[in-house]
């Protein structure tokens, strides 16, 4: 069962970003660098209590798609985000390796989405209007309306 309240909170967060701000980019799972696509293999960051990524003593803003913002907003504090061989992976606190999953997989788990809903919602071509329409479609399915 999809957590529609969670989906709507992510929409509200994305919608509250200033026009032209680069913090939401549906083509970017998650980026915590000034320049996109400059991850070093093995680089890591951690989700803080403020929903931002912390690299050592520095907390910075991020760029993320819908799924990325869901992870930043709802993953437990100290969730580890790592860049491994061109993929961004999520490890929950207390996991001892081997349980990493992609941003999309973890966001799907968090929100209780089925694979079809996740694929549709996390599509890189979605506009903010598309995201609103998709979330409300999922809400209607959940309530049977």
Full DSSP string of 5-68: HHHHHHHHHHHTSPTT-TTB-TT-SEE-SSSTT-PPTT-EEEE-TTSSEEETTEEE--EE-HHH
Q: For the chain, what percent of residues have pLDDT higher than 70?
A: 70
Domain count, the chain: 1
pLDDT in tens, 91-144: 888 776 667 888 899 999 999 999 999 999 999 999 999 999 999 999 998 887
pLDDT of residue 110: 93
Residue 22 or residue 130, greater confidence: 130
Predicted local distance difference test score (pLDDT) of residue 26: 83
Hey, CA dihedral for 86, 17, 50, 57, is it positive or negative?
positive
Domain span at 9: 4-143
Closest CA to 5 of 136, 106, 108: 136
On whether the CB atoms of residues 22 and 63 are closer than 8 A, the answer is yes
């Amino acid at each position: 069962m999809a957590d529609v309240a969670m989906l709507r909170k992510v929409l509200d967060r994305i919608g509250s970003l200033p026009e032209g701000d680069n913090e939401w980019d549906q083509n970017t799972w998650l980026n915590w660098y000034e320049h996109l696509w400059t991850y070093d293999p093995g680089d890591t960051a951690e989700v803080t209590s403020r929903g931002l990524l912390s690299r050592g003593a520095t907390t910075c803003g991020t760029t993320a798609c819908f799924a990325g913002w869901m992870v930043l907003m709802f993953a437990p504090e100290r969730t580890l985000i790592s860049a491994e061989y061109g993929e961004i992976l999520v490890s929950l606190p207390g996991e001892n390796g081997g349980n990493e999953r992609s941003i999309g997989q973890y966001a799907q788990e968090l929100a209780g989405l089925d694979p079809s809903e996740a694929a549709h919602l996390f599509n890189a071509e979605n506009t903010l209007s598309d995201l609103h329409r998709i979330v409300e479609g999922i809400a209607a399915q959940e309530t049977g309306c």
